[in-house]
Structure 1
Amino acid sequence: MAADRPHKRLDAWNLSMELCREVYALCQRLPREERYGLGAQMKRAAVSVPSNIAEGAARGTSKEFAHFLSVAQGSLAELDSQLELCSAYLGLIDREEAAKVLEKAARVGRMITALRRSLEHRK
């Protein structure tokens, strides 16, 4: 894939790719019976974040980009709930490990919010 893709210059995309790697690693430590249930959902939610940032960046208008950023934020909220469920409610993963991943997800969320605001100011 070409390095000149617009999403590759976005800090939010790059950090969300790191988030995906961490979620995948965390899911490997889930009990076997949850790797294909909750683990698969967590991975899908994580992958959705950089995917939607990339798709939005490739669109022609700020309005479309903002829409895809909104979808990415929704996926972050989904991932947040799943991580919280796994750590605090079910005890399937270590709370400290989950907290590190949740903090990275929060950073990505703040970056996406900043991107959305910058798009609003372009109008």
Structure 2
Amino acid sequence: MKSYTELEVWMQARVLVNAVYELTKKFPKEEVFGITSQIRRSAISIPSDIAEGCGRSSTKETIHFLFIARGSLYELETQLYLSNDQKYITQEELEKIQQQVIACKKLLNGFINYYKKR
């Protein structure tokens, strides 16, 4: 098995985290402890939980953490829509980052299915 740092799903999740940080830099200062912090925590949880799952000793535990990562990805997606609702990001910015979210969903679902078949 590859190291988690060599997994495409983990690498793409890191790309998403960096995009989220770049996007949230322009959020209002009063949101620094609100949605900005929440979005960043959700994004960071995705590659972190993938890594933690890969470090577990059983397939069942690994799948559990992959599902947690997937939940964080859906949480992030919702927060991005809410940021658009609040006009913190434009529709164009939402659509651009949504492409990365979708790519991560596909990779993560594929990785979960791979582990389920083991």
TM-score bracket, normalised by the shorter chain, equals: over 0.9
Q: Distance in 2 between matches of 1:107 and 1:11?
A: 11
Residue matched to 2:26: 29
Determine the structure 1 residue equivalent to 2:11.
Answer: 14
Could you tell me the percent identity over the aligned residues? 34
How far off is 1:17 after superposition?
A: 0.3
Q: How far has the Cα of 1:13 moved from its partner?
A: 0.3
1:66 to 44, 63, 66: 63
The runs of 5 or more residues in structure 1 that have no matched partner are none
The runs of at least 4 aligned residues of structure 1 exceeding 4 Å deviation read none
Q: CA deviation at 1:35?
A: 2.4
- Cα distance in 2, alignment partners of residues 84 and 107 from structure 1: 17
Question: How far, CA to CA, are the matches of 2:17 and 2:63 in structure 1?
Answer: 21
Structure 1 contact 27–35 (Cα < 8 Å) conserved: no
Quote the residue 2:73 is aligned against: 76
* Cα distance in 1 between the residues matched to 2:98 and 2:32: 19
Distance in 1 between residues matched to 2:42 and 2:100, nearest whole Å? 14
1:93 equivalent in alignment to 2:105: no
Query: Which consecutive unaligned segments of at least 5 residues does structure 2 have?
Result: none
Q: How many residues align?
A: 117
In 1, Cα distance between equivalents of 2:4 and 2:79:
26
Q: Distance in 2 between matches of 1:49 and 1:56?
A: 11
1:40 to 31, 37, 53: 37
Letter in 1 for 2:88: L
Match of 2:117 in 1: 121
Residues in 2 aligned to 1:31 and 1:8: alpha-carbon distance in whole angstroms: 34
